[in-house]
Amino acid sequence: MNKKLLHIESSGQLCIYCGACVGVCPLNCIYLDETRITFDEKICTRCEICVKACPVGAIEIG
């Protein structure tokens, strides 16, 4: 499967660590530490719901 690249900008330049992406992920594959967001590349299906949910545009799929 040729998956598109998902990029979560979680260094703080855009991300405000609000957890919206974590709550909307239907597969439960995004994790929020206090100042770090990670996601599980293997589980993620690139459904792009988190891209929409992010209020500041810190998640990109290309």
Partner 1 sequence: MENLRTDVLVVGAGPAGSMTAKWAAKSGAQVVMIEKRQEIGSPVRCGEGISRSWLPEVGITPSSKWINVEVEGARIYAPNEQCLEINEKHAGNEVGFVVERDGFDKALAIDAANAGADVLLKTAALGVIKENGRVVGVKGKRFGEAFEIRAKVTIGADGFESQLGRWAGIPTNLALRDMDSCLQYRMTNVDCDVRYCDFYLGKVAPGGYVWIFPKAEGLANVGIGVQLSQITGMAEARKYLDAWIAHHPQYAKGKKIDMVGGGVSISPPLKQTVTDGLMLVGDAARMIDPLTGGGIANGCIAGKICGEYAAKAVELGTPTKEFFQGYEKAWRARLEEKLYRNWLAKEKLCSLSDETFNKVVDALQGVKLEKLTVHNILKAVREKYPDVTKEFAAFL
Binding site for partner 1 (CB under 8 A): 16-24, 26, 28, 32-34, 49, 51-57, 59-60
| Least distance CB 46 / partner 1 (angstroms) | 14
Residue (10 or 54) nearer to partner 1, CB: 54
Instruction: Round to whole Å and give the CA distance between 31 and 5.
Output: 18
Closest CA to 40 of 55, 54, 62, 50: 50
| Least distance CB 47 / partner 1 (angstroms) | 10
Residue (23 or 46) nearer to partner 1, CB: 23
Instruction: Round to whole Å and give the CA distance between 55 and 45.
Output: 21
> Which tokens belong to 25?
């992920």
